């Protein structure tokens, strides 16, 4: 997993509530057995018409947002299924940071496994950032995970909360499995105990 | 005296392997269900790192999302779907994971077969790379959906790194009126709390109406917990739970059964246990429910009308209502029971169990599917199908003109060949009415099995009570 430390980039405004994982990556693209290559299918049904041609009015098809690295969306982003294809598609497109007022739990968790930083902000902050994003590539955001801040184009800064464990793993690009395997003794002891207390389990 | 604990607290505490200073916990996982869509990259990860599956015997794999629901001895036409199923078969063989092959009678939707086999048990932690894993919480287990990276983590370590959740309780008081089912209860709950109402929480369902439910009905309620934003929903185990599990192939037997039941009886929440959030509904207030829009929270009593965006003051919500009505091809203020349907889908991990099929047969018996409507019934597993055929349920449905098919996820998410054409409208017993969920441009109305049967017979989103009272 790539580290996430700082990011300076264009933010694309997707001003909708309840953006679900079926919108982010429709199920016909879940048949892959790889993690990569899903970027072209990101938001497929909003991004392309029935013939497969780009819809020019969809935000990520507009010239100023084609290289966006940050996505800004309204409440409850990522609701729906557990498909990790959603963060894989975002990442493959080039998005490393999603900002919203709230995220669905599984999607939120999946982001951290893929080096994507999901940031929760207040309603008021979201409106301001959405306005910044509307200015396109003239208005880049500067996200700094270490200091937990988003730098706005007008020089102001928005700070955000994140739990220390997730922050640490993201800053260092740490693989959870490797870390857990270091606790092998604890896991084995737990299993031994349960063999006695709950032999049916 | 020890602090009173909830059902969730007890299961959580019993599975803690390690806790860090900030509360991040390593919890042990008792059961892991695996399917073909969210596992290939996880097995690939194990292979790349030279890792094994730590406890294959605690893992159970099945293909359900991609498989055809017509004659399947002919294999899968779609190349990508076929590759995904073959990849699963290759992976389970290579890593020694127990697997129900596609032609095995025990094959079915992961969330149907776990309980059916007694693989799902009270007090356990159960995960699957699938958000509807919440279903298993009906047994008083802590069951939740995970992403593929976490699937790999569980395969390799039989544990997960988790932040503790908050407790929420939803109580449904009193008795459900006639014609109102567990599906209506959970839709009404989602309509009340919203699709983000449970975010960060584990929901415990309680109250007389829940206690009176069969295991099948409880599974329907817990299944759609994720549509209310919570990862896990649970119901305290009781005699109904034990009765359902006793004698199941993978359930404990003899002395082990007695010891297990004694432990399971200690699991219900202690009196005075605290919940961060509480919601109470009166069963008597719930009528059959139908969704009108493109989010499970867009729900109406069947006696209601579609919303009018002009009446919504919040601009984001107004825009969302306008977009949903347009997508669904509906005008504001339309009586929902007058809306005509093209298709009916009965099945899924929400409503693909024997009780659901019986409910459809009870409405369909001696009647015919309306002209121009295609009504499809997809049992949740081979065993459900077998039972429905043995009981005569299948005959009733076939005589009424329903299309009786092979088990799988089917048109709940339309990854296989079963899908709606653009603009087609479907009364569906599944769990999501998102844009494009049942096929590009598809229009889904979520309902109970009895309501789906009524839609099939009348050709509209009719109130089932018109047919049964």
Please write the tens of the pLDDT for every residue from B179-217.
999 999 999 999 999 999 999 999 999 999 999 999 999
Distance from CA of A1 to the nearest CA of B (A): 11
pLDDT of A81 reads: 94
Among B147, B163, B432, whose Cβ lies nearest the Cβ of A106? B147
Q: Both tokens of residue A152? A: 């706005």
Closest residue of chain B to A181, computed from CA coordinates: B157
Span A106-128, average pLDDT? 97
Percent of chain A with pLDDT over 70: 100
pLDDT of A1 reads: 85
Q: Is the pLDDT of residue A54 over 90?
A: yes
Span B66-94, average pLDDT? 94
pLDDT of B72 reads: 86
**CB < 8 Å to A182, chain B:** none
Which element (helix H / strand E) includes B426? strand B425-428
Contact present, A79 and B145 (Cβ < 8 Å): no
Q: What is the mean pLDDT of chain B?
A: 97
Among A116, A150, A97, which Cα is nearest to A35's? Answer: A116
Span B414-424, average pLDDT? 95
**How many degrees, rounded to 5, is the angle at CA B126 between CA B124 and CA B132?**
135
Please write the tens of the pLDDT for every residue from A140-180.
999 999 999 999 999 999 999 999 999 999 999 998 899 99
Distance from CA of B153 to the nearest CA of A (A): 6
List all residues 6 or more positions away from A195 whose beta carbon is below 8 Å from its beta carbon.
none
Span A23-37, average pLDDT? 95
Among A62, A68, A107, which Cα is nearest to A88's? Answer: A107
b/e per residue, B421-438, with b = 16+ CB within 10 A? eeebbbbbbbbbbbbbbb
pLDDT of A175 reads: 82
Distance from CA of A85 to the nearest CA of B (A): 9
Query: What part of B 22-81 touches A (C-beta under 8 Å)?
Result: 22, 24, 26, 28, 30, 37-38, 40-41, 44-45, 49, 51, 65-66, 78, 80-81
Percent of chain B with pLDDT over 90: 97
Q: What ipTM describes this predicted complex? A: 0.95
Kindly report the backbone phi and psi dihedral angles of residue B61, in degrees, each rounded to the nearest multiple of 5, phi listed first: -115, 150
Cβ contact, residue pair A33, B18, below 8 Å: no
Q: Both tokens of residue A30? A: 């879940």
Contact present, A104 and A79 (Cβ < 8 Å): yes
Q: How far is CA B225 from the centre of its chain?
A: 8
**CB < 8 Å to A45, chain B:** 435-436, 440
Please check whether residue A116 touches B, CB under 8 A: no
Cβ contact, residue pair A180, B26, below 8 Å: yes
Using CA atoms, how far apart are residues B455 and B340, in angstroms rounded to an integer? Answer: 8
Using CA atoms, how far apart are residues B78 and B64, in angstroms rounded to an integer? Answer: 15
Distance from CA of A21 to the nearest CA of B (A): 9
Q: How far is CA B314 from the centre of its chain?
A: 31
Chain A contact probe: residue of B140, B196, B198, B200 with most A CBs at under 10 A: B196
Q: Both tokens of residue B395? A: 């005959």
Query: What part of B 258-317 touches A (C-beta under 8 Å)?
Result: 259-260, 263, 295, 316-317
Radius of gyration of chain A, Cα coordinates, nearest whole angstrom: 19
Cβ contact, residue pair A79, B24, below 8 Å: no
Q: With the C-alpha atoms ordered A144, A150, A156, A158, is the resulting torsion angle positive or negative?
A: negative
Using CA atoms, how far apart are residues B174 and B283, in angstroms rounded to an integer? Answer: 5
Please check whether residue A188 touches B, CB under 8 A: no
Please write the tens of the pLDDT for every residue from B321-362.
999 999 999 999 999 999 999 999 999 999 999 999 999 999
Distance from CA of A152 to the nearest CA of B (A): 23
Cβ contact, residue pair A45, B435, below 8 Å: yes
The burial of B70, by beta-carbon neighbours within 10 Å (0-12 exposed, 13-18 middle, 19 or more buried), is given as: exposed
Contact present, B319 and B289 (Cβ < 8 Å): no
Among A16, A114, A181, whose Cβ lies nearest the Cβ of B157? A181
Please write the tens of the pLDDT for every residue from B228-282.
999 999 999 999 999 999 999 999 999 999 999 999 999 999 999 999 999 999 9
**CB < 8 Å to B228, chain A:** none
CA-CA distances (angstroms) from residue B400 to B54, B141, B459, B463? Answer: 49, 39, 13, 19
Span B21-27, average pLDDT? 92
Q: Is the pLDDT of residue A139 over 90?
A: no
Please check whether residue A101 touches B, CB under 8 A: no
Q: Identify the band that residue B1 occupies on the pLDDT scale cut at 50, 70 and 90.
A: low
Using CA atoms, how far apart are residues B151 and A48, in angstroms rounded to an integer? Answer: 32
**CB < 8 Å to A106, chain B:** 131, 145-147, 226, 231
Closest residue of chain B to A30, computed from CA coordinates: B37
Cβ contact, residue pair B130, A35, below 8 Å: no
Q: Identify the band that residue B59 occupies on the pLDDT scale cut at 50, 70 and 90.
A: very high
Among A31, A50, A103, whose Cβ lies nearest the Cβ of B80? A31
Distance from CA of B86 to the nearest CA of A (A): 11
Q: Which of A134-148, B45-59, B297-311, B444-458 has the lowest mean pLDDT?
A: A134-148
Instruction: State the distance between the two ends of chain B, measured CA to CA, in whole angstroms.
Output: 53
Using CA atoms, how far apart are residues A68 and B33, in angstroms rounded to an integer? Answer: 37
Alpha helix positions (H), B227-270: 239-245, 254-264
Q: Is the pLDDT of residue A47 over 70?
A: yes
């Amino acid at each position: 997993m790539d580290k996430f430390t700082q990011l300076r980039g264009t933010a694309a405004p997707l001003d909708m509530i309840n953006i679900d994982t079926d919108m982010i990556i429709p199920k016909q693209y879940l048949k892959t057995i790889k993690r990569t290559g899903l970027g072209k299918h990101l938001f497929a049904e909003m991004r392309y018409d029935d013939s497969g041609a780009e819809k020019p009015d969809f935000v990520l098809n507009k010239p100023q947002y084609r290289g966006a690295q940050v996505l800004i969306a309204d409440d409850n982003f990522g609701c729906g299924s557990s498909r990790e294809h959603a963060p894989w598609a975002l990442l493959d497109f080039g998005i490393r940071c999603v900002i919203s007022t709230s995220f669905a739990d599984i999607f939120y968790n999946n982001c951290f496994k893929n080096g994507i930083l999901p940031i929760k902000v207040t309603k008021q902050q979201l409106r301001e950032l959405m306005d910044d994003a509307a200015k396109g590539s003239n208005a880049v955001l500067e996200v700094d995970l270490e200091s937990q801040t988003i730098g706005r184009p007008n020089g102001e800064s928005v700070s955000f909360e994140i739990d220390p464990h997730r922050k640490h793993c993201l800053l260092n690009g740490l693989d959870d499995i490797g870390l857990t395997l270091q606790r092998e003794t604890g896991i084995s002891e737990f299993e031994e105990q349960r063999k006695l207390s709950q032999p049916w389990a | 005296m020890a602090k009173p604990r909830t059902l969730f607290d007890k299961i959580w505490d019993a599975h803690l392997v390690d806790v860090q200073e900030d509360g991040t916990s390593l919890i042990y996982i008792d059961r892991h269900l695996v399917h073909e869509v969210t596992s290939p990259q996880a097995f690939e990860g194990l292979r790349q790192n030279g890792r094994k599956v730590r406890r294959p015997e605690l893992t159970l794999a099945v293909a359900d999302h991609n498989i055809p629901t017509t004659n399947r001895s002919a294999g899968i036409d779609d190349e990508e779907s076929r590759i995904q199923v073959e990849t699963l078969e290759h992976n389970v063989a290579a890593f020694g994971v127990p697997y129900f092959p596609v032609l095995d009678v025990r094959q079915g939707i992961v969330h149907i077969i776990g309980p059916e086999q007694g693989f799902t048990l009270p007090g356990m932690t159960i995960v699957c790379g699938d958000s509807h894993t919440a279903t298993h919480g009906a047994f008083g287990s802590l069951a939740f959906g995970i992403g593929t990276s976490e699937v790999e983590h569980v395969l390799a370590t039989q544990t997960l790194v988790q932040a503790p959740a908050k407790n929420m309780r939803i109580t449904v008081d009193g008795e459900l009126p006639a014609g109102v089912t567990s599906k209506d209860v959970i839709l009404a709950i989602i309509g009340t709390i919203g699709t983000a109402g449970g975010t960060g929480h584990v929901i415990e369902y309680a109250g007389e109406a829940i206690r009176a439910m069969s295991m099948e009905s409880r599974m329907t309620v817990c299944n759609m917990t994720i549509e209310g934003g919570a990862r896990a929903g649970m119901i305290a185990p009781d005699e109904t739970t034990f009765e359902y599990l006793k004698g199941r192939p993978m359930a404990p037997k003899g002395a082990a059964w007695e010891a297990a039941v004694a432990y399971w009886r200690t699991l219900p929440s202690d009196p005075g246990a605290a919940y961060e959030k509480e919601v109470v509904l009166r069963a008597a207030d719930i009528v059959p429910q139908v969704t009108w829009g493109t989010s499970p929270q867009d729900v109406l009593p069947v006696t209601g009308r579609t919303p009018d965006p002009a009446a919504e003051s919040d601009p984001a919500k107004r825009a969302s209502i306008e977009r949903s009505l347009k997508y669904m091809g509906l005008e504001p203020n339309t009586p929902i029971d007058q809306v005509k349907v093209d298709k009916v889908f009965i099945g899924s991990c929400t409503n693909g169990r024997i009780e659901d099929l019986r409910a459809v047969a009870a409405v369909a018996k001696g009647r015919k599917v309306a002209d121009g409507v295609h009504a499809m019934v997809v049992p949740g597993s081979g065993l459900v199908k077998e039972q429905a055929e043995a009981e005569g349920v299948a005959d009733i449905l076939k005589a009424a003109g329903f299309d009786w098919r092979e088990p799988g996820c089917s048109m709940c998410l339309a990854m296989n060949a079963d899908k709606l054409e653009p603009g087609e409208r479907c009364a569906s017993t599944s769990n999501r009415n998102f844009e494009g969920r049942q096929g590009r441009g598809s229009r889904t109305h979520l309902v109970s099995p009895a309501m789906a049967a009524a839609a099939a017979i009348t050709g509209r989103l009719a109130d089932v009570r018109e047919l049964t009272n």
